A and B are shown apart, each in its own frame.
Chain A
């Protein structure tokens, strides 16, 4: 089968392998055989873009940021995708995972780091961990009229080496006229990364055995990495950005996740105590076995009961109850349970806890084994009191290190087009989520299509989700156009669409795919009406023709929506 020379090479190569390594290689090669061949011309030319390069900047006056954006854009032009991040938003726990880590950092006043880089600076200096996998380079900005010229850059450069990282380029110190030396340095750096690429063998991990049961959805256990309220003080709302890490998670941009929330533990314990039921008693609910405590905690909805359940409970306790919807625990407090067995049966008749679906805001290519979601804190008034939706309450309490169970909700009708196609994304409010996934994906994979985002919310200063990320993507050219509307300024997303009608229609006519995500009843209707008006106005169509044009877009997959 194998030419003699090739066989010799193979034998030479594997002669030093341990048994375990040989078993792995065996799996690896059979994986190569069963999946698509991975070595084609495109892969080779993209060798460098497969490297994980992070370009992190620490800025005070904005120079480092400006420069970092320019460098990232430059890299992109050369087919290298560097992930651009401000050090104040950098997740410090990721340091040990970095492959190529390039820092652009300035020095302030008397040799201090910029405020935005202080946490990073302290973290690497105080925490005594090692980062042997990292290859790094530092570009220091400073002002020679200060005595401690570029001190912070020097500190970072030395400290990363102390931590075991490998310096791949000597640090360069730039004065106020930094552009030229910085670009030269960066060109050489890219060159050297490129050359290393040629000698290194890229190994794709063996294919993962699919453990998903054909019948049910695979449940992942995600560890919370971060839970951030994206709204600034002064905002009328609260929106969580949650980052979950889950091993071997698989999804595509456009997919959603389902989260099955849990009831409040304290409430569950109170119900058990008040009614005297046995929390450890096994019960069967929808063909699954669980203890009563688990049943109360995870399986059923015990909040804001429907009227029919209130009626059932009334029979149970032999009382006349008002018909208003209330929480189970409130019923129990006011009208104590008399018969435990009957109450257990009642518990098994309640509605199952419904999963909440959230659009995924991340991309595996950009964020690794992570799933990010954005969840608006759901508050409503019931019985004159402010109540928090069950899933909001559940997510509200989650801190880094906690776990959340979820499944992937595949959405084949909301997919990115081929990489060279242009897209228009309309995503007011939390509707922005899948578009962060789209653009992160296109950034990470170097997709060449143009990307246009329309976003709207209440206040520019407090409610512009992921503002700094959009700014970076805009700076590097991944995000081609962005238009924003804020109701505080009496502007809505449809107004922006109308203002941009000519250009927008030009994009659509030339084959751009249009995506809409967000609120269904008011927003999505207004957007669709506006699109039809734009088709009439720009395409010189009558209403019937415009409607037909819209239907064609839908039929050909050029218009996709995910509204709720």
Chain B
């Protein structure tokens, strides 16, 4: 804190933004460009948007004396990833009217639309507003979309715990009315900026992610969050939550000061009031102690490591005015979605549908988007997104199950889900090229074909049933949480990836870099030889990640 380092440029933009307004209104009326003004690039994130461009077209358009094909990605705020059928129908239509048409389910249980032109942002957000959806704080240096274990069948307490996601999201929303003024034409009531005791005028040093996990399934990757809440349940009663601090999976190639990190469990808090207080004060600690001069070192994980656990907990207790109890025992045993039909204690049915890389669209083989619209139109099921980018058609009463099933069958969605290998269903990739400005290599456009090739190797060693968890990102920033996978592919340059191995299946151990900068042939031959030894030398039921660690394959490399 005492370091007198120069603030990063974004810090100046935030504090001068008059409650995240900046010059966004002026930017919208700049006709000569599809872009927003420079400082607004940072501010528009707080409104749930990123300015992007189609990188594939840059060169071609430059020759034509045209600017980059600039558009916006809009990410919604959907705490816990739950939409009513009406909301899904709205999203479907908005995607068709203003975006590329594809609805992308993200790794944080929300949806995002790509390719929205500047003049279509307002109509898009106004249409979402009609079904009570917004994109406030979906990006930016604030608390992001709060995730929570998706499947209602996970626990009888799911409903109660899931409701916390929305409450926490509301608790940590910025006070500014900028979103309503700029995008929804709300009239500005007073000239002064709304006071915001939590974010003040500087917001957080960096993004802040919160996840709620319900053991034994860690489908949300709870430890990958800045703040992870682990539900402690005894005899079907919610005792409270273990608090885990300092997760975050982004790193920067070549910058040794950066590292991916899983959250550290620092204690236990009982009762909703105390829980909210603790959450709030963890955010204020990060606000006050986080690094504001180097954004690469600004996440809570660095703040936490710099302070040390003891000092951090002491500061937290001081701010809360109560003691943080000792953490309760918990155990995660898996991290997968429960594909297919599940029935909960209330006799309602839920169908978890495999959606490769979360991309909901119609293609020549499968009309997922049309199918989901038809199902939504019946009003017989809700829509839930998982942190693995899949979709649950949920809360279907017994009497409607057969009808919903017939629709799923009509569009071959059950066949599609069942036909995909466990390996493919547990794989995940980020968006990357052509729109993500950070991407160094392909991810979701390429990963499906690489998986097919790896599936062949699995078959060769008769490992086809093994649900090894793999993830790919186009850069080291970790959106698809590749560091928390048994096998992680992290893009370094076009067609090249670092190969990471050794994460566990439950999401409690980070993997490590095994080989650097491999092309496809390199990747496949490394994987072939790794699977070869795994097949012959593994212990019974030993997972690939555990095998890698026991055999010390990384250190011996």
Contacts and interface: CB of A to CB of B under 8 A. Distances in A.
Contact of A461 (B34, B38, B60, B63): B34
Given A115-B58, A145-B255, A471 B440 contact: no
Query: Which residue, B33, B57, B64, B437, has most C-beta atoms of chain A within 10 A?
Result: B64
B67 A467 contact: yes
Contacts of B119: 460, 489
Interface string A467-483: 11111001000000011
Interface in A80-103: 86, 88-89
A88 B59 contact: yes
Given A89-B65, A145-B255, A232 B57 contact: yes
A88 B64 contact: no
Give the interface residue-count category, chain A. Answer: 35 or more
Interface in B109-125: 117, 119
Interface string B56-72: 01111111111101000
Nearest to B55: A115
Given A66-B38, A145-B255, A467 B31 contact: no
A464 B34 CA distance: 11
B399 interface: no
A448 interface: no
A62 B296 contact: no
B296 A241 contact: no
A147 B256 CA distance: 12
B9 interface: yes
Nearest to A485: B31
A474 B30 CA distance: 11
A467 B254 contact: no
Nearest to A90: B62
A283 interface: no
Contacts of B69: 232, 461
Nearest to A436: B65
B296 A229 contact: no
Interface in A41-87: 61-62, 66, 86
A232 B64 contact: yes
B32 interface: yes
Contacts of A115: 55, 58-59
A474 B32 contact: yes
A108 to B, nearest CB: 10
A237 to B, nearest CB: 13
Contacts of A466: 65
Nearest to B255: A145
Contacts of B117: 460-461
A230 interface: yes
Contacts of B38: 62, 66
Nearest to B119: A489
A467 B62 contact: no
Nearest to B9: A176
Nearest to A66: B38
A176 to B, nearest CB: 7
A244 B507 CA distance: 64
Nearest to B61: A232
A465 interface: yes
Contact of B63 (A61, A228, A233, A471): A228
A462 B68 CA distance: 11
A359 interface: no
Contact of A469 (B58, B63, B65, B440): B65
A89 B31 contact: no
Interface string B251-266: 0001100000000000
Given A116-B58, A232-B57, A88 B66 contact: no
A146 B294 CA distance: 13
Interface in A431-486: 460-462, 464-471, 474, 482-484
A263 interface: no
Contacts of A464: 66-67
Contacts of B64: 228-232
B34 A460 contact: yes
B33 A471 contact: yes
A465 B33 CA distance: 13
A221 to B, nearest CB: 26
Given A88-B59, A489-B119, A147 B254 contact: yes
A241 B65 CA distance: 10
Nearest to B41: A62
A109 B440 contact: yes
A468 B34 contact: no
Contacts of A62: 38
B32 A88 contact: no
Contact of A468 (B31, B55, B62, B296): B62
A468 B65 contact: yes
B473 to A, nearest CB: 16
B536 to A, nearest CB: 39
Contacts of A66: 38
Contacts of B296: 145
Nearest to B70: A461
A116 B32 contact: no
Interface string A224-250: 000011111100000001000000000
Contacts of B63: 88-89, 228
Contacts of A241: 65
B535 to A, nearest CB: 37
A470 B31 CA distance: 11
A88 B440 contact: no
A409 B187 CA distance: 56
A187 B399 CA distance: 79
B86 to A, nearest CB: 28
A117 to B, nearest CB: 11
B62 A471 contact: no
B392 to A, nearest CB: 36
A467 B59 contact: no
A456 B296 CA distance: 44
Contacts of A228: 63-65
B67 A146 contact: no
Nearest to B35: A62
Interface string A506-535: 000000000000000000000000000000
Contact of A467 (B66, B255, B493): B66
A146 B256 CA distance: 11
Given A109-B440, A145-B255, A146-B254, A470 B62 contact: no
A467 B34 CA distance: 11
B12 to A, nearest CB: 11
A251 B181 CA distance: 52
Interface in B385-402: none
Query: Which residue, A467, A471, A482, A489, has most C-beta atoms of chain B within 10 A?
Result: A467
Nearest to B66: A467
A484 to B, nearest CB: 5
Interface string A101-132: 00000000110000110000000000000000
Interface in B295-314: 296
6 contacts: A88-B62, A229-B64, A230-B66, A460-B34, A468-B65, A482-B32
Interface of B: 6, 9, 31-34, 38, 55, 57-67, 69, 117, 119, 254-255, 294, 296, 437, 440, 493
Closest 5 CB pairs of A and B: A88-B62, A484-B31, A467-B66, A466-B65, A467-B67
Given A88-B59, A147-B254, A467-B65, 17 more contacts: A88-B58, A89-B62, A89-B63, A89-B65, A115-B55, A145-B294, A177-B6, A228-B63, A230-B66, A233-B57, A467-B32, A467-B66, A467-B67, A468-B62, A468-B65, A483-B31, A484-B32
